[in-house]
């Protein structure tokens, strides 16, 4: 009953922000326009290296074309409706943002020549939460089934993106980075509605996050 009455407020706000930015970009010359993308904060390594570190965050809210926007907003809605209830609003928002940043950092490292934008890094972080839950809460059949379905979807998505060269709007390394960030932060922040995370796995995730954070700060701020 509680779940039926739950309103995914954060999910709806995130979708609204994406739509607002898309409208603003369209009015400014079009979301497919490289100049407009850079103006609004797309990930672009040379500008990040000049100190515009906020470009690791802003791409989460920008999209390249209407199809890109619609696909990601639909994904955010269906994933967010479930995960916002499971995680709680604050944890959900934190993992969404942190996964997006993690994905953009991966793109910064491994896809340095691209102009990247899209909520896909955060969406893959939400996929990562499902995979993490499937690994941690194997005693819950429903979660286990969801996790297997999501894992298959992720494997197919990443596999096809490598096979076809990534596509015009696909940043495969950003997706992988977002996925791993979602898994790690899922362990760090936990899923209170489902149970406790095993201490060893939580501490290991915390250590990995700290190490990756130090390496990322060193890389971004010492260029």
Residues annotated as part of the active site: 120, 175
For helices 9-27 and 89-110, angle between their N-to-C axes, nearest 10 degrees: 40
What is d(CA 154, CA 127) in angstroms, rounded to the nearest whole number?
Answer: 8
Nearest-CA neighbor of 125 among 146, 150, 143?
Answer: 150
What is d(CA 111, CA 107) in angstroms, rounded to the nearest whole number?
Answer: 5
In 69-219, DSSP assigns E strands to: none
Taking residue 71's Cβ as centre, other Cβ atoms within 10 Å add up to 17
Paired tokens of 184 = 């790690």
Instruction: For residue 117, give the DSSP letter.
Output: -
Sign of the dihedral through C-alpha 170, 176, 179, 185: negative
Paired tokens of 186 = 């899922």
The answer to whether residues 158 and 180 touch, using CB atoms and an 8 Å cutoff, is: no
Terminal Cα-to-Cα distance of the chain (whole angstroms): 53
């Amino acid at each position: 009953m509680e779940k039926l009455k739950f309103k995914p407020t954060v999910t709806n706000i995130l979708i609204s922000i994406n739509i607002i930015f898309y409208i603003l970009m369209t009015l400014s010359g079009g979301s497919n326009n490289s100049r407009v993308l850079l103006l609004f904060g797309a990930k672009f390594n040379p500008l990040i290296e000049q100190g515009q570190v906020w470009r690791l965050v802003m791409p989460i809210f920008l999209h390249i074309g209407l199809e890109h926007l619609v696909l990601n907003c639909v994904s955010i809605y269906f994933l967010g409706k479930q995960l916002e209830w499971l995680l709680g609003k604050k944890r959900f928002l934190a993992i969404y943002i942190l996964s997006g940043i993690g994905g953009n950092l991966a793109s910064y490292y491994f896809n340095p020549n691209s102009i990247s934008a899209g909520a896909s890094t955060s969406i893959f972080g939400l996929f990562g939460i499902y995979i993490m839950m499937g690994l941690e809460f194997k005693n819950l059949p429903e979660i286990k089934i969801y996790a297997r379905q999501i894992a298959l979807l992720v494997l197919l998505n990443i596999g096809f993106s490598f096979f076809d060269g990534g596509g015009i709007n696909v940043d495969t390394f950003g997706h992988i980075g977002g996925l791993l960030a979602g898994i790690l932060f899922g362990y760090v922040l936990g899923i209170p509605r489902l149970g406790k995370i095993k201490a060893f796995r939580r501490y290991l995730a915390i250590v990995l996050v700290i190490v990756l954070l130090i390496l990322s700060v060193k890389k971004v701020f010492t260029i």
